[in-house]
Amino acid sequence: MYQDNANFTSKDILEKDFKVDTRGYRPQEVDRFLDLIALDYNFFRSNINRLENEKQELIDENIMIKQEVRKLKQKLEILRESSNGEITNADLLRRISNLEKIIFGKE
């Protein structure tokens, strides 16, 4: 996602050549420093990718939880309307059965 906004890749950094001037920097020092920058760049890139994936997983989980809450609210409203606030043994057995399905993974 953020790669599109970056000016350089780690390969660009590693392969960058500077012109040598008579009073310029030492090429070996520049190369070592750019190597370290490229390592940091790769580290940050991998962290960003990991966090983006984690964020998407949390968004998906949040959507599922909201849908489940919505369904449970609808079921609760139906139960309230059908029993006028009274919970019968049949309602309790149905709830227990639904909970067992959820716990044991049987739909």
**pLDDT tens digit sequence for 14-62:** 787 777 777 778 778 888 888 888 888 889 989 999 999 999 999 999 9
Q: What is the pLDDT of residue 13?
A: 80
Indicate the pTM of the whole model: 0.53
User: Which letter, b or e, does each residue of 49-68 get, where b requires 16 or more Cβ atoms within 10 Å of its Cβ?
Assistant: eeeeeeeeeeeeeeeeeeee
AA identity, residue 49: N
Question: CA angle, 51 as apex, 49 and 53 as ends, to 5°?
Answer: 70
Q: pLDDT averaged over the chain?
A: 82
- State the pLDDT at residue 106: 61
**pLDDT confidence of 1, banded at 50, 70, 90?**
very low
**1 and 52 Cβ atoms separated by less than 8 Å:** yes
Tokens 């392969």, located at residue: 15
Domain ranges of the chain: 2-104
How many Å is the Cα radius of gyration of the chain?
29
